[in-house]
């Protein structure tokens, strides 16, 4: 979760991306000791988490506010509820809806974005409406989705998919529009088939931006996963948290919040790991360019 | 002109299709209102105080939350960005909070503060802080070494250095962060209204849904209003960014390349 220090990872237009793993500029072979000290240094940078944990522990042990129960009780309950207990169902339910919704949004976003790229005349005609749907704060659609799908998993999957599709769709379209025309002309001159052009020219050129879109969609999907469970639901982590709060079970509420935080972080980390695998050639090339 | 015409054709076709689907019963009226009834509801609402006070409440809580969260993010981020050790220590913690869905703290906020305006400010400020503070830190770190060294040689120090050297260098990063934060803030204030209650566009949407099918046109009218709100607020930030950063290299290049 740390970033290469002092190296500007992005240009101003793109939010910085935390790089995980080996920066592409590192020479291949290093002494083993190097990696050891490097790992230790990274570990040392987590000291603030320890401090926060310790402060929380002692502060919450003393406070009498019912909203902030002792961390010790929370951790106990976390184990009882989520590791051995029944609350696991809620985690599974949330993750399942998230997975379906995000998968639909990803595949749909790339497919529709690519189709729009091909249908050049339609692009400008529909672009303001796509933008409207993109900036529409998606949670407002939950009540409407409830009237159509009722209360249940179908509504949640639909709302996650509908909200998360726009960043991927717009970024796919944008990335494909940015493909160097010279490369496309070269591919045509070489007589490549349509499929080959897409696979060898369009996709590699557009992939970094498609991935950026997928990353934005991930954030949206996680938010909608929780919010859809908070508004009207009988299962999921969000439901668990709200239900605990409403029945004044504040220790339970805190365990739910911790689980939710962990889910968000794990999903983000997974994404970064996959991204670095898929796009290693891109970051490598860019690092070389930056070096000059 | 031709583009505008094609856009209007698309709009007319979509609205027409909606009306036809409702009239023929493909869209059941107890699930999805017809286009004309929705437009009618929207038109009626435009002249009522109900709509405008809801818009005012949502926008006001968004703006104040953004001001609190954004202001503290800029101050804290600038301080942290100045020191390498602080920066390295704090980044993992910030990444942690950024990756955690901010709505997770909503039950705590509603529990401690109730469905009040203060609760809304706290939620918006919390959600806005994390994506912005990380941009501020990266922005402050990205300062051109020549500029930094020149400032040091010229003995530009203290607040003057912050406003004349540090802040302008970080400005493009801060602008990107603010744009993201503004969108997050609007979502959070609406989520707070949907779940916590109080007053605002989100509350009106939920009330219309609870009133049953006759109020569904009203619900869609308010959903449309929320979308317009999103466009207007995003547009203000995009324009403001262009206006404030017109001098910046990246902007000049963009304009040059555009010609």
Residue B23 above 60 pLDDT? yes
Q: What is the pLDDT of residue A15?
A: 42
Burial (Cβ within 10 Å: 0-12, 13-18, ≥19) of residue B149:
exposed
Looking at residue B124, its pLDDT comes to 95
Chosen from B107, B214, B245 to mutate, greatest number of chain A CBs within 10 A: B107
Nearest of B103, B77, B99, B138 to residue A272 by alpha carbon: B99
Give the H or E element holding residue B137: helix B117-141
pLDDT above 70 coverage of chain B, percent = 96
Residue B237 · residue B182 · CB < 8 Å: yes
Q: Which residues of A132-151 are buried (b: 16+ CB within 10 A; e: fewer)?
A: ebbbbbbbbbbbbbbbebee
A259 and chain B in contact, CB less than 8 A: no
* Higher-pLDDT residue of A283, B65: B65
Q: What is the pTM of this model?
A: 0.84
Contact A142 B103 (CB under 8 A): no
Q: By the 8 A CB rule, do A117 and A64 touch?
A: no
pLDDT digits (tens, 9 = 90+) for B75-95: 999 889 888 888 888 888 998
- Kindly give the parts of chain A with pLDDT less than 70: 1-36, 44, 289-292
Are the beta carbons of B10 and A245 separated by less than 8 Å?
Answer: no
B256 or B77, which is more confident?
B77
Q: What is the pLDDT, as a whole number, of residue A18? A: 41
Q: Residue B144 — very low, low, confident or very high, per pLDDT cuts 50/70/90?
A: confident
List, for residues B244-254, the tens digit of each pLDDT value.
Answer: 887 776 665 55
Is the pLDDT at B186 greater than 90? The verdict is yes
Mean pLDDT score, B48-71: 92
Residue B61 has pLDDT above 90, yes or no: yes
* Closest chain A residue to B111, measured at CA: A245
pLDDT tens-digit map of B191-224: 999 988 888 899 989 888 888 888 888 899 999 9
Rounded mean pLDDT of chain B? 87
């Amino acid at each position: 979760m740390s970033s290469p220090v002092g190296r500007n990872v992005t240009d101003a237009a793109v939010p910085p991306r935390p790089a995980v793993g080996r920066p592409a500029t590192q020479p291949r072979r290093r002494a083993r000791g190097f990696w050891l000290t490097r790992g230790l240094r990274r570990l040392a940078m987590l000291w603030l988490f320890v401090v926060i944990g310790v402060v929380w522990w002692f502060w919450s042990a003393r406070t009498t506010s019912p909203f902030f129960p002792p961390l010790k009780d929370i951790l106990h309950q976390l184990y009882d509820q989520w590791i051995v207990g029944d609350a696991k169902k809620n985690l599974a339910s949330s993750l399942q809806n998230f997975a379906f919704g995000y998968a639909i949004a990803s595949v749909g976003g790339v497919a529709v974005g690519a189709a729009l790229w091909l249908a050049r005349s339609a692009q400008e005609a529909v672009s303001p409406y796509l933008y409207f749907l993109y900036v529409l704060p998606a949670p407002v659609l939950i009540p409407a989705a409830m009237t159509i799908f009722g209360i249940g998993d179908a509504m949640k999957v639909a709302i996650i998919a509908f909200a998360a599709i726009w960043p991927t769709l717009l970024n796919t379209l944008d990335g494909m529009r940015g493909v160097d025309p010279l490369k496309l002309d070269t591919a045509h001159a070489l007589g490549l088939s349509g499929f080959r052009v897409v696979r060898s020219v369009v996709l590699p050129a557009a992939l970094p931006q498609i991935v950026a879109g997928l990353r934005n969609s991930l954030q949206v999907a996680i938010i909608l996963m929780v919010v859809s469970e908070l508004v009207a639901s009988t299962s999921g982590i969000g439901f668990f948290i709200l239900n605990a709060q409403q029945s004044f079970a504040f220790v339970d509420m805190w365990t739910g919040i911790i689980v939710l935080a962990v889910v968000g972080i794990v999903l983000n980390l997974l994404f970064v790991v996959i991204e670095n695998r898929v796009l290693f050639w891109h970051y490598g090339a860019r690092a070389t360019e930056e070096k000059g | 002109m031709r583009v505008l015409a094609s856009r209007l054709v698309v709009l007319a076709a979509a609205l027409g299709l909606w009306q036809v689907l409702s009239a023929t019963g493909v869209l059941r009226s107890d699930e999805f209102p017809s286009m004309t009834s929705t437009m009618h509801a929207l038109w009626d609402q435009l002249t009522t105080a109900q709509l405008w006070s809801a818009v005012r409440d949502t926008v006001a809580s968004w703006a104040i939350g953004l001001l609190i969260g954004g202001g503290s993010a800029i101050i804290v981020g600038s301080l942290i960005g100045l020191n390498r050790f602080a920066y390295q220590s704090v980044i993992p913690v910030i990444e942690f909070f950024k990756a955690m869905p901010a709505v997770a703290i909503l039950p705590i906020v509603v529990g401690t503060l109730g469905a009040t305006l203060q609760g809304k400010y706290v939620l918006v400020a919390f959600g806005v802080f994390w994506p912005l503070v990380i941009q501020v830190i990266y922005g402050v770190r990205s300062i051109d070494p020549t500029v930094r060294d020149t400032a040091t040689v010229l003995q530009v120090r203290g607040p003057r250095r912050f406003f004349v050297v540090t802040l302008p260098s970080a400005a493009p990063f801060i602008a990107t962060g603010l744009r993201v934060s503004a969108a997050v803030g609007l979502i959070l204030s609406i989520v707070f209204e949907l779940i916590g209650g109080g007053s605002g566009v989100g509350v009106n949407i939920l009330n219309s849904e609870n009133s049953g099918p006759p109020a569904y046109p009203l619900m869609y009218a308010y959903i449309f209003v929320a979308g317009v709100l999103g466009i207007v607020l995003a547009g203000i930030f995009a324009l403001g960014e262009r206006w404030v950063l017109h001098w910046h290299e990246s902007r000049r290049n963009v304009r040059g390349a555009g010609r």
